[in-house]
Amino acid sequence: MVDRQANIGERIVGLLPDGPRIALKRGIRGLSEKRKLARADLVVVGHPKSGNTWLRFQLARVYQHKYGLPESVIPDVEILHGLNRSIPQLHMGAYTYIRPIIAGPAPAAQLAGKGVVFIVRHPLDIMVSLYLHIQKHALHERKLFNNWPVDLSKTSMAEFTDNPDWGLRPLVGFFNDCLRQHDRLERSMIVSYEDMKAQPAQLLARITALAGGPVSPEEAEEAAAYTSFDKLRQAEIENKFNTTRLRAANPGDPDSFKVRRAKVFGYLDYFSGEVLERLQAVIDRDLDPRLGYGSSAMKDTPGM
Protein backbone atom coordinates (compact mmCIF):
# COMPACT_ATOMS: atom_id res chain seq x y z
CA MET A 1 0.00 0.00 0.00
CA VAL A 2 2.83 2.40 0.93
CA ASP A 3 4.71 1.64 -2.30
CA ARG A 4 1.52 2.17 -4.32
CA GLN A 5 0.93 5.54 -2.67
CA ALA A 6 4.56 6.52 -3.29
CA ASN A 7 4.26 5.61 -6.97
CA ILE A 8 1.07 7.64 -7.27
CA GLY A 9 2.81 10.57 -5.59
CA GLU A 10 5.75 10.35 -8.00
CA ARG A 11 3.40 10.35 -10.99
CA ILE A 12 1.57 13.41 -9.68
CA VAL A 13 4.86 15.26 -9.08
CA GLY A 14 5.95 14.29 -12.60
CA LEU A 15 3.00 16.22 -14.04
CA LEU A 16 4.16 19.51 -12.57
CA PRO A 17 6.04 22.09 -14.69
CA ASP A 18 9.84 22.04 -14.45
CA GLY A 19 10.21 24.83 -11.87
CA PRO A 20 7.74 23.60 -9.22
CA ARG A 21 8.61 19.95 -9.83
CA ILE A 22 12.35 20.42 -9.33
CA ALA A 23 11.80 22.69 -6.33
CA LEU A 24 9.58 20.06 -4.70
CA LYS A 25 12.07 17.28 -5.41
CA ARG A 26 14.93 19.34 -4.00
CA GLY A 27 12.94 20.07 -0.85
CA ILE A 28 12.14 16.41 -0.28
CA ARG A 29 15.73 15.39 -0.96
CA GLY A 30 17.00 18.08 1.37
CA LEU A 31 14.95 16.74 4.28
CA SER A 32 16.20 13.22 3.54
CA GLU A 33 19.82 14.37 3.42
CA LYS A 34 19.43 16.21 6.72
CA ARG A 35 18.12 13.07 8.44
CA LYS A 36 20.82 10.84 6.96
CA LEU A 37 23.57 13.25 7.96
CA ALA A 38 22.29 13.47 11.54
CA ARG A 39 22.34 9.66 11.93
CA ALA A 40 25.66 9.01 10.23
CA ASP A 41 28.78 7.61 11.87
CA LEU A 42 30.80 8.26 8.71
CA VAL A 43 30.16 10.99 6.15
CA VAL A 44 31.83 11.01 2.74
CA VAL A 45 32.16 14.47 1.20
CA GLY A 46 33.16 14.94 -2.41
CA HIS A 47 32.53 16.96 -5.53
CA PRO A 48 30.78 15.10 -8.37
CA LYS A 49 33.25 12.96 -10.36
CA SER A 50 35.81 12.82 -7.54
CA GLY A 51 35.47 9.09 -6.96
CA ASN A 52 32.36 9.09 -4.75
CA THR A 53 30.65 6.25 -6.61
CA TRP A 54 33.80 4.15 -6.55
CA LEU A 55 34.17 4.54 -2.79
CA ARG A 56 30.44 3.79 -2.36
CA PHE A 57 30.91 0.43 -4.10
CA GLN A 58 34.06 -0.32 -2.11
CA LEU A 59 32.36 0.34 1.23
CA ALA A 60 29.24 -1.58 0.24
CA ARG A 61 31.27 -4.59 -0.87
CA VAL A 62 33.61 -4.75 2.11
CA TYR A 63 30.75 -4.77 4.64
CA GLN A 64 28.40 -6.90 2.53
CA HIS A 65 31.10 -9.56 2.19
CA LYS A 66 32.32 -9.32 5.79
CA TYR A 67 28.86 -9.84 7.27
CA GLY A 68 27.47 -12.27 4.68
CA LEU A 69 24.75 -9.98 3.35
CA PRO A 70 23.20 -10.57 -0.09
CA GLU A 71 25.08 -9.05 -3.00
CA SER A 72 21.92 -7.19 -3.95
CA VAL A 73 22.56 -4.61 -1.19
CA ILE A 74 25.45 -3.19 -3.25
CA PRO A 75 25.84 -0.20 -3.59
CA ASP A 76 23.26 1.01 -1.03
CA VAL A 77 25.64 1.77 1.82
CA GLU A 78 22.98 3.72 3.72
CA ILE A 79 20.91 0.59 4.43
CA LEU A 80 23.73 -1.62 5.72
CA HIS A 81 23.53 -0.53 9.37
CA GLY A 82 19.85 -1.44 9.45
CA LEU A 83 20.71 -4.95 8.26
CA ASN A 84 23.55 -5.47 10.74
CA ARG A 85 24.17 -3.16 13.69
CA SER A 86 27.88 -4.00 13.64
CA ILE A 87 28.18 -1.97 10.45
CA PRO A 88 28.59 1.79 10.99
CA GLN A 89 25.89 4.09 9.63
CA LEU A 90 27.36 5.39 6.40
CA HIS A 91 26.34 8.47 4.46
CA MET A 92 27.54 9.64 1.06
CA GLY A 93 26.81 13.36 1.31
CA ALA A 94 25.07 14.77 -1.77
CA TYR A 95 27.16 17.69 -3.05
CA THR A 96 24.26 20.13 -3.41
CA TYR A 97 23.34 19.74 0.25
CA ILE A 98 26.73 19.25 1.85
CA ARG A 99 28.40 22.17 0.05
CA PRO A 100 26.76 24.95 2.14
CA ILE A 101 27.74 23.10 5.32
CA ILE A 102 31.35 22.79 4.19
CA ALA A 103 31.40 26.47 3.17
CA GLY A 104 30.18 27.54 6.61
CA PRO A 105 32.03 27.96 9.90
CA ALA A 106 34.62 25.33 10.80
CA PRO A 107 34.26 22.92 12.38
CA ALA A 108 30.74 22.42 11.05
CA ALA A 109 28.33 21.56 13.85
CA GLN A 110 26.58 19.02 11.61
CA LEU A 111 29.83 17.04 11.37
CA ALA A 112 30.73 17.08 15.07
CA GLY A 113 31.54 13.66 16.51
CA LYS A 114 31.47 11.94 13.11
CA GLY A 115 34.17 10.44 10.97
CA VAL A 116 34.47 12.53 7.81
CA VAL A 117 36.20 11.57 4.57
CA PHE A 118 36.94 14.35 2.11
CA ILE A 119 37.62 13.03 -1.40
CA VAL A 120 39.77 15.18 -3.67
CA ARG A 121 41.00 14.73 -7.23
CA HIS A 122 42.96 16.82 -9.68
CA PRO A 123 40.50 19.62 -10.48
CA LEU A 124 41.03 19.39 -14.23
CA ASP A 125 40.35 15.65 -14.23
CA ILE A 126 37.07 16.43 -12.49
CA MET A 127 36.22 19.09 -15.07
CA VAL A 128 36.80 16.68 -17.97
CA SER A 129 34.82 13.89 -16.34
CA LEU A 130 31.94 16.17 -15.33
CA TYR A 131 31.71 17.72 -18.79
CA LEU A 132 31.46 14.30 -20.45
CA HIS A 133 29.07 13.04 -17.78
CA ILE A 134 26.66 15.91 -18.35
CA GLN A 135 27.02 15.73 -22.10
CA LYS A 136 26.72 11.97 -22.55
CA HIS A 137 25.40 10.32 -19.39
CA ALA A 138 23.23 12.49 -17.17
CA LEU A 139 19.47 12.34 -17.68
CA HIS A 140 17.56 15.55 -18.41
CA GLU A 141 15.87 15.49 -15.01
CA ARG A 142 19.20 15.11 -13.24
CA LYS A 143 20.58 18.12 -15.12
CA LEU A 144 17.64 20.23 -14.01
CA PHE A 145 17.90 18.95 -10.43
CA ASN A 146 21.62 19.78 -10.18
CA ASN A 147 21.30 23.05 -12.11
CA TRP A 148 23.66 21.72 -14.76
CA PRO A 149 23.56 22.93 -18.36
CA VAL A 150 20.96 20.99 -20.33
CA ASP A 151 22.82 21.20 -23.66
CA LEU A 152 26.59 21.33 -24.04
CA SER A 153 26.63 20.81 -27.81
CA LYS A 154 27.78 24.40 -28.37
CA THR A 155 29.97 24.66 -25.27
CA SER A 156 33.60 23.63 -25.40
CA MET A 157 35.27 21.88 -22.50
CA ALA A 158 37.37 24.96 -21.83
CA GLU A 159 34.26 27.17 -21.76
CA PHE A 160 32.57 24.76 -19.39
CA THR A 161 35.61 24.84 -17.12
CA ASP A 162 35.50 28.65 -17.06
CA ASN A 163 31.84 28.77 -15.98
CA PRO A 164 31.43 30.57 -12.62
CA ASP A 165 28.60 28.25 -11.48
CA TRP A 166 30.00 24.76 -12.07
CA GLY A 167 33.53 25.28 -13.37
CA LEU A 168 37.06 25.29 -11.99
CA ARG A 169 36.84 28.27 -9.64
CA PRO A 170 33.90 27.03 -7.53
CA LEU A 171 35.53 23.59 -7.43
CA VAL A 172 38.78 25.09 -6.11
CA GLY A 173 36.77 26.99 -3.50
CA PHE A 174 35.03 23.80 -2.42
CA PHE A 175 38.33 21.95 -2.02
CA ASN A 176 39.74 24.81 0.05
CA ASP A 177 36.67 24.68 2.27
CA CYS A 178 37.08 20.90 2.66
CA LEU A 179 40.66 21.38 3.82
CA ARG A 180 39.58 24.16 6.19
CA GLN A 181 36.99 21.84 7.76
CA HIS A 182 39.50 18.99 7.90
CA ASP A 183 41.94 21.18 9.83
CA ARG A 184 39.32 21.80 12.54
CA LEU A 185 37.53 18.46 12.78
CA GLU A 186 38.64 15.89 15.33
CA ARG A 187 38.09 12.82 13.13
CA SER A 188 38.58 13.35 9.42
CA MET A 189 40.89 12.45 6.58
CA ILE A 190 41.66 13.69 3.08
CA VAL A 191 41.58 10.92 0.49
CA SER A 192 42.75 11.62 -3.03
CA TYR A 193 41.44 9.82 -6.10
CA GLU A 194 45.05 9.36 -7.16
CA ASP A 195 45.87 7.49 -3.93
CA MET A 196 42.67 5.44 -4.29
CA LYS A 197 44.05 4.24 -7.61
CA ALA A 198 47.51 3.53 -6.20
CA GLN A 199 46.57 1.86 -2.90
CA PRO A 200 42.82 1.14 -2.76
CA ALA A 201 42.91 -1.57 -0.09
CA GLN A 202 45.08 0.39 2.33
CA LEU A 203 42.86 3.46 2.09
CA LEU A 204 39.69 1.41 2.42
CA ALA A 205 41.04 -0.14 5.62
CA ARG A 206 41.81 3.32 7.02
CA ILE A 207 38.36 4.63 6.10
CA THR A 208 36.55 1.74 7.77
CA ALA A 209 38.65 2.25 10.91
CA LEU A 210 37.67 5.93 10.92
CA ALA A 211 34.03 4.86 10.61
CA GLY A 212 34.32 2.69 13.69
CA GLY A 213 33.87 -0.56 11.79
CA PRO A 214 37.38 -1.72 10.94
CA VAL A 215 38.02 -4.55 8.50
CA SER A 216 41.04 -6.80 8.09
CA PRO A 217 43.68 -6.20 5.40
CA GLU A 218 42.43 -9.33 3.63
CA GLU A 219 38.83 -8.08 3.64
CA ALA A 220 39.95 -4.72 2.27
CA GLU A 221 42.00 -6.43 -0.44
CA GLU A 222 39.02 -8.54 -1.49
CA ALA A 223 36.75 -5.50 -1.74
CA ALA A 224 39.38 -3.55 -3.68
CA ALA A 225 39.74 -6.40 -6.16
CA TYR A 226 35.96 -6.79 -6.47
CA THR A 227 35.57 -3.08 -7.26
CA SER A 228 38.55 -2.70 -9.59
CA PHE A 229 38.10 -0.60 -12.73
CA ASP A 230 37.82 -3.66 -14.98
CA LYS A 231 35.30 -5.36 -12.68
CA LEU A 232 33.09 -2.30 -12.33
CA ARG A 233 33.30 -1.55 -16.04
CA GLN A 234 32.11 -5.07 -16.83
CA ALA A 235 29.38 -4.78 -14.19
CA GLU A 236 28.18 -1.59 -15.86
CA ILE A 237 28.09 -3.28 -19.28
CA GLU A 238 26.06 -6.15 -17.82
CA ASN A 239 23.95 -3.88 -15.57
CA LYS A 240 24.92 -6.33 -12.85
CA PHE A 241 23.69 -4.25 -9.92
CA ASN A 242 20.55 -2.92 -11.61
CA THR A 243 21.19 0.63 -10.42
CA THR A 244 21.34 3.98 -12.18
CA ARG A 245 24.52 4.59 -10.22
CA LEU A 246 26.28 2.15 -12.57
CA ARG A 247 24.50 2.06 -15.91
CA ALA A 248 25.81 3.18 -19.30
CA ALA A 249 23.70 5.75 -21.12
CA ASN A 250 24.88 4.40 -24.49
CA PRO A 251 26.73 1.05 -24.49
CA GLY A 252 28.21 1.96 -27.87
CA ASP A 253 29.89 5.12 -26.56
CA PRO A 254 32.69 4.59 -23.99
CA ASP A 255 32.42 8.23 -22.90
CA SER A 256 28.82 7.66 -21.81
CA PHE A 257 29.82 5.11 -19.15
CA LYS A 258 29.80 5.98 -15.46
CA VAL A 259 33.07 4.04 -15.21
CA ARG A 260 34.73 5.83 -18.09
CA ARG A 261 38.52 5.70 -17.99
CA ALA A 262 39.56 6.18 -14.34
CA LYS A 263 42.76 7.69 -15.69
CA VAL A 264 44.91 9.79 -13.39
CA PHE A 265 45.85 13.08 -15.05
CA GLY A 266 43.74 12.19 -18.08
CA TYR A 267 43.01 15.89 -18.48
CA LEU A 268 46.30 16.13 -20.37
CA ASP A 269 44.52 14.40 -23.26
CA TYR A 270 41.97 17.23 -23.41
CA PHE A 271 43.73 20.46 -22.39
CA SER A 272 47.01 21.72 -23.81
CA GLY A 273 48.93 24.85 -24.72
CA GLU A 274 47.71 28.22 -23.54
CA VAL A 275 44.41 26.81 -22.24
CA LEU A 276 46.19 24.34 -19.97
CA GLU A 277 48.62 27.02 -18.77
CA ARG A 278 45.77 29.38 -17.93
CA LEU A 279 43.77 26.74 -16.04
CA GLN A 280 46.82 25.48 -14.16
CA ALA A 281 47.60 29.07 -13.20
CA VAL A 282 44.19 29.28 -11.48
CA ILE A 283 45.04 26.15 -9.50
CA ASP A 284 48.51 27.45 -8.63
CA ARG A 285 47.13 30.77 -7.44
CA ASP A 286 43.92 29.77 -5.67
CA LEU A 287 44.07 26.13 -4.50
CA ASP A 288 45.66 25.26 -1.17
CA PRO A 289 49.08 23.83 -2.13
CA ARG A 290 48.82 21.12 0.54
CA LEU A 291 46.51 19.17 -1.76
CA GLY A 292 49.43 18.70 -4.15
CA TYR A 293 47.89 19.80 -7.44
CA GLY A 294 50.06 22.86 -8.06
CA SER A 295 52.62 22.98 -10.87
CA SER A 296 55.60 22.66 -8.54
CA ALA A 297 54.17 19.52 -6.90
CA MET A 298 53.39 17.93 -10.28
CA LYS A 299 56.55 18.79 -12.18
CA ASP A 300 57.51 15.11 -12.46
CA THR A 301 54.11 14.05 -13.84
CA PRO A 302 54.46 12.57 -17.36
CA GLY A 303 53.34 15.09 -19.96
CA MET A 304 53.66 18.11 -17.69
In a domain, 123, yes or no: yes
In a domain, 28, yes or no: no
Instruction: Enter the DSSP assignment of 264.
Output: T
pLDDT at 2: 40
In a domain, 173, yes or no: yes
Which class for 155: exposed (0-12), middle (13-18), buried (19 or more C-beta within 10 A)?
middle
From first to last of the 304 residues of the chain, give the pLDDT tens digit.
444 544 555 666 777 888 889 999 999 999 999 999 999 999 999 999 999 989 999 999 999 999 999 999 998 999 999 999 999 999 999 999 999 999 999 999 999 999 999 999 999 999 999 999 898 878 889 899 888 888 998 999 999 999 999 999 999 999 999 999 999 999 999 999 999 999 999 999 999 999 999 999 999 999 999 998 878 777 665 666 665 555 555 566 555 455 555 678 999 999 999 999 999 999 999 999 999 999 976 655 544 4
Residue 282, by phi and psi: left (phi above 0), alpha (psi -120 to 50) or beta? alpha
pLDDT at 244: 55
pTM as predicted: 0.87
pLDDT at 302: 43
In a domain, 8, yes or no: no
In a domain, 304, yes or no: no
In a domain, 12, yes or no: no
91 DSSP β-pair partners: 43
pLDDT at 231: 80
Contact 28, 96 (CB under 8 A): no
Domain that holds residue 166: 40-298
In a domain, 78, yes or no: yes
- Structural domains in the chain (count): 1
pLDDT at 232: 73
In a domain, 5, yes or no: no
pLDDT at 242: 61
Give φ, ψ of 186 to 5 degrees.
-75, -35
pLDDT at 261: 56
Distances (CA, A) of 3 to 6, 9, 22: 5, 10, 21
> In angstroms, how far is the first alpha carbon of the chain from the final one?
59
Instruction: Enter the DSSP assignment of 31.
Output: H
pLDDT at 258: 52
What's 161's domain CATH number?
A: 3.40.50.300
